[in-house]
Chain A
Amino acid sequence: MIEIDQLQHVYPGSRHIAPRTALHGLSLKVDEGELVILSGPNGSGKSTLFRILAGLMRPSSGTVRVGGFDLFKEPAKARALMGVVFQSPALDKHLTVLENIRLQGALYGLSGALLDSRMEEALAWSDVKTRLADKVMTLSGGLARQVELAKCLLARPRLLLLDEPTTGLDPLSRRLFLDTLARLHAERNMTVLMTSHIFSEAENAGRVAILRNGHLLAYDTPGHLRAILGSEVIVIRSAAPDALASLLEAEMGIAKLKRYGDELRIEDVAPSKSLALLERLLERHRSDIVSIAIKQPELEDVFLHVTGHHPDGNEEVAA
Chain B
Amino acid sequence: MNARVAIALAWREWIRFIRQPQRVVGSIGQPLLFWLFLGSGFSPSFKPPGMGEIGYLEYFYPGALLMMLLFAGIFSCITVIEDRDQGFLQSVLAAPVARFSIVAGKVGGAALIALAQCLILLLAAPLVGLVPSAGGALLLLLGLVLASVGFTALGFGIAWGMNSTAGFHAVMMVFLMPLWMLSGALFPTQGAPQWLSFLIGVNPVSHALTLIRAPFYADVPHLLADPQYLAALGIAAVWAALCLAFSLWRVGRVEKGVKPSGI
Spot the interface stretch: B49-57, B82-90, B168-176, B224-232. B82-90
- Which residues of A in the span 76-128 have a Cβ within 8 Å of any Cβ on B? 76-77, 79-80, 82, 84, 86, 88-92, 94-95, 99, 102-104, 106-109, 111
Q: Quick one: closest B residue to A95, CB to CB?
A: B15
Q: How many Cβ-Cβ contacts under 8 Å join chain A to chain B?
A: 108
Q: Quick one: closest B residue to A72, CB to CB?
A: B254
Interface string of B1-32 (1 = CB under 8 A from A): 01011011100100110011000000000000
Query: In which size bucket is the chain B interface?
Result: 20 to 34
Cβ A12 vs Cβ B90 within 8 A: no
CA distance A249 to B92 in the complex (A): 57
- Which residues of A in the span 135-180 have a Cβ within 8 Å of any Cβ on B? 135, 151
Cβ B254 vs Cβ A103 within 8 A: no
**A82 contacts across to B, CB distance below 8 A:** 94
Residue from the list A19, A76, A94 in contact with B260, Cβ < 8 A: A19
Interface string of A46-88 (1 = CB under 8 A from B): 0000000011111111000000000000011101101010101
Q: Quick one: closest A residue to B98, CB to CB?
A: A76
- Which residues of A in the span 175-234 have a Cβ within 8 Å of any Cβ on B? none
Interface-central residue, A21, A75, A90, by most chain B CB under 10 Å: A90
Cβ B2 vs Cβ A10 within 8 A: no
CA distance A44 to B76 in the complex (A): 36
Cβ B90 vs Cβ A90 within 8 A: yes
CA distance A82 to B95 in the complex (A): 8
A residues contacting the other copy or chain, number (CB 8 A): 42
- Which residues of B in the span 78-118 have a Cβ within 8 Å of any Cβ on A? 85-97
CA distance A58 to B126 in the complex (A): 56
CA distance A286 to B8 in the complex (A): 69
Cβ A54 vs Cβ B94 within 8 A: yes
**A94 contacts across to B, CB distance below 8 A:** 15-16, 19-20
CA distance A135 to B16 in the complex (A): 11
| 20 examples of A-B residue contacts, CB within 8 angstroms | A8-B257, A21-B260, A22-B257, A54-B94, A55-B94, A57-B254, A60-B256, A61-B257, A88-B86, A88-B87, A90-B88, A90-B91, A92-B12, A92-B16, A92-B88, A95-B15, A104-B91, A107-B5, A107-B8, A107-B97
The 3 closest A-B pairs by CB, nearest first: A60-B257, A106-B8, A90-B91
